[in-house]
Amino acid sequence: MTKQVYFQDVAVGGELPSLMKQPTSRQLVMWAGASGDLNPIHYDKDYAIKRGLPGVIVHGQLAGCFLGQLITDWAGDGGNLKKLTLSYKGMNFPGEALTCRGVVTRKYVEDDRHFVVCNIWVENPRGEKTVTGTATVTLPAGD
């Protein structure tokens, strides 16, 4: 269970705790079935290579879901994800460690709700940001 983060404890420029993921080939097959994205570039190495890729690649939406987990884990049970936007910038490969990161960029109060906006991204082992985005959450005010 994640400790609850409160609006007044969050500062613009503050970093979210990073989330490490290492997607496996099995996870890609499971994601393909669950999401309906059955493109063979995500599970058939020969097919992916014939299409000019270096091998099987991780679904962009799966990496995006890792970012969803990053932000909802951080916001805790009392927080709510209100908006998530993602942009796919590069490829990730099964077996490589992916680091999900985020930083608070804005805080505001509207209609007695406490909003926090964060820039979020997935970073591969080469330091490249392969998925970037923005998340808006509401957090409890606290005491």
- 34's CB contacts (< 8 A; 6+ apart) are none
Q: What is the CATH number of domain 7-139?
A: 3.10.129.10
Alpha helices, H only, the chain? 25-35, 45-50, 60-75
pLDDT band at 142 (very low <50, low <70, confident <90, very high): confident
pLDDT at 2 over 90: no
Q: pTM of this prediction?
A: 0.93
Q: Could you tell me the CA-to-CA distances from 51 to 54, 76, 105 in Å, in that order?
A: 9, 41, 39
pLDDT tens for each residue of 41-80: 999 999 999 999 999 999 999 999 999 999 999 999 999 9
Instruction: Fill in the DSSP letter of residue 2.
Output: P
pLDDT at 143 over 90: no
Residue 107: what residue type? K
Average pLDDT over residues 75-97: 96
